[in-house]
Amino acid sequence: MAARTSLVVVESPTKVKTIQKYLDRGFVVKASLGHLKDLPKSKLGIDVKKGFAPQYVPVRTKAKTLEELKKAGKKAKALYVATDPDREGEAIGWHIAQELKIPPEKVYRVLFNEITEKAVKAAFKEPGRIDQKRVDAQQARRVLDRLVGYKISPLLWEKIRRGLSAGRVQSVAVRLICEREQEIRAFVPQEYWSLQAYLTGAVPPEFVATLREKDGAKLVPSNETETRAIMAELERLPFVVKAVERGERRKNPSPPFITSTLQQDAARKLRFSASKTMMIAQQLYEGVEIDNGGPVGLITYMRTDSPRVAAEAQAAARDVIAARYGAETLPERPPFYRARKSAQEAHEAIRPSLLDQPPERLARHLSRDQLGLYRLIWERFLASQMRPALYDTLTVDVSAGPYLFRAVGSALRSPGFMAVYIEAPDESVGAAEEEGEMSGLPPLETGQRLGLVRLDPKQHFTQPPPRYTEASLVKELEEKGIGRPSTYAQILSTIQKREYVQRDRGSLSPTDLGETVNNLLVKAFPHIFEVAFTAQMEESLDEIEEGDRKWVEAVREFYKPFEGDLKEAGLTMEDFKAGKPTDETCPKCGEGKLLEKWGRYGRFLACERYPDCKYTRNPGDAAQAEPEQAGVTCDKCGKPMVYKQSRFGRFIGCSGYPECKNIKKITLGIPCPQGCGGELVENRSKRGRAYFGCSNFPECRFVVWQRPVPVPCPKCGMPFLTQRGGRGKRWVACSRENCDYRRDAEIA
């Protein structure tokens, strides 16, 4: 009779292979593929009157997986829950134990921060139990999110249009983006001037000093008149070296990555979205095939808010650093990095799990994106364990009567950690004061008279705050205590998927729909979607996990004011479906007022006398009684075709709509190079990116992504060139493969 084995359950199928090879034949490893039970999709699934009891049901798509686990559980002598080391993983394990009906004394919890042989075996040697406090924290979050989503979303369906939804944390992220956009719109640029003096000493070279003070007070000229007056005065004054100060500046390494900083640096250095960063990090954590030895976990767990590093890992890092960069790059003792107050100190920072696997050794085993992210993690971790970079600094103050100019220079004396890694600049922080190289300053002494070569005035204007990028929004969410490491990527993905936020060249801005929904929610639920309140709820969840608070108590405290706001919102929230009245009279019938409404493709204006009057237009379009004629007739009904506008761009439609729904693309007047008789038209991809294809689609599938210009290629005869550009330059080039024609151009 075969000996009974213990069942080990992980979340991902990728982990099965990795972990199975580290365990003996007494264990069989299977995957749950995430949650097996959840709240039902078809109803609220929470009994509010009975202590907010959640009504969990099996996830429909996981029925086969659950059946297989139950079958394995009947033969198992014990269950080892090896799901991810966070709240979600704890809840998944809790549900599995319930479904498999294994006695509690035979259910064990194993936690490991990295999937290596040593870590896995150590976890199985000293297993624990499922942490009910952590399960309760996850339940509280799930119940809160369901209450907000399922109670508010129907209101949005009723007041704007179906398909909209609200989220307890996501809606606050949208609010931050909307408020930043309002700041940008309200911003009034202020003029100011800078003034630099080009000076010479006894020996070359000449150097530059910037005006800083007058009579000991900071001085920033506000206009050209003031600046010119200062210049006229300075041209009659002697320039004298007032002080020469030499010093040292230390630049400390950044801590090893946590989830938020990994997402930020991957966005800045690799141009990864937050969701892409987490997807690739998950692959590196779960295991990658190396040298036919089976999958190997390459990094520690990637959902963490703690920069803590195990002493063993620090010791291994010091050995690698000494061997690769020299012992002189090591600090006397391993550094300690302080975590935020709310951080889960049980977790470690994100670091390589095997320091004997540098990026160059793994290059042939990893995809380009995997290698890029692994190198980022590897270099950041090593740098975090190294000495600071040291700069020699030189500050020269130059007086000219009551005015003070300053020249600042620096020279890198010892690169320290910068020999390995330099953190990408934060795009939300303004440029630092300009600093030159010390080698660009001549020998100078206090009291030395200087020669004035010229004065260089420059006009400037204050700039509005920048739009958020994914990187800076994650940073803002973390700093304000909104969400947790496991939620950042999901928040960013959700708000874009719902079309509340759009991303253009990396910047996030609210859509018209996003601003409308945000305005309604903030007005109707001033507390629930307030940043500080959301952060306070996150703290409550942490208190539940620590055992300092009961989860039902936290949910009840939230629900009482929420219920009142919900009833009030149902009565007072603006109704865009019925239409919001405007002061404009319909230009077509001259009788009805125009109403502001929301449809499938966004906001529009419509006559209140519909269906007797069917006038509609986009809010931003000029009022006109009749749409612009396209100069062609409909090939289906013979009526005139007119120009129309949708969120996908301008097109030609039949004036007989809705009886005739014939539409045509506006062609560019450029023949399709496939010789099919069609012309090129502009289209939009699902992500909103413009591309150009043949009007005979789907019969002809010619596509080009760059905008065509109706100029034939002089080299190969292609009927058009395409616009290109980058880094401030513009040019046209041939799109035909194997043709390298290109020339600089200014395209209108």
- 214 pairs with which residues across the strands? 217, 403
Residue 187 to residues 118, 179, 465, 515, 517, Cα–Cα distance (Å): 57, 12, 8, 18, 23
Give the sheet arrangement for strand 79-81, strand by strand.
Answer: 27-31, 6-10, 79-81, 107-109
The conformation of residue 299, written as its DSSP 8-state character, comes to B
Structure tokens at 335: 């550094």
Question: Identity (one letter) of the amino acid at 427?
Answer: E
What does the CA dihedral 509, 510, 512, 518 come to, rounded to 10 degrees? -160
Report d(CA 122, CA 572) in Å as an integer.
Answer: 59
**Between vectors from CA 74 to CA 68 and to CA 75, what angle results, nearest 5°?**
100
The active-site residue out of 22, 108, 301, 421 is 301
110, 82 Cβ separation under 8 angstroms:
yes
- What residue spans of 252-333 are helical by DSSP H? 259-270, 274-286, 311-325
Q: Any catalytic annotation for residue 691?
A: no
User: HSE of 182 in the Cβ direction (CA atoms, 13 Å)?
Assistant: 11
Question: Identity (one letter) of the amino acid at 571?
Answer: L
If phi > 0 it is left, if psi is from -120 to 50 it is alpha, else beta; for residue 271 that is: left
Report d(CA 675, CA 677) in Å as an integer.
Answer: 6
Of 422, 345, 414, nearest in space to 384 by CA = 422
Bridge-based pairing of strands 79-81 and 107-109 is parallel
Structure tokens at 739: 């043709």
294, 14 Cβ separation under 8 angstroms:
no
Which positions are annotated as active-site residues? 301
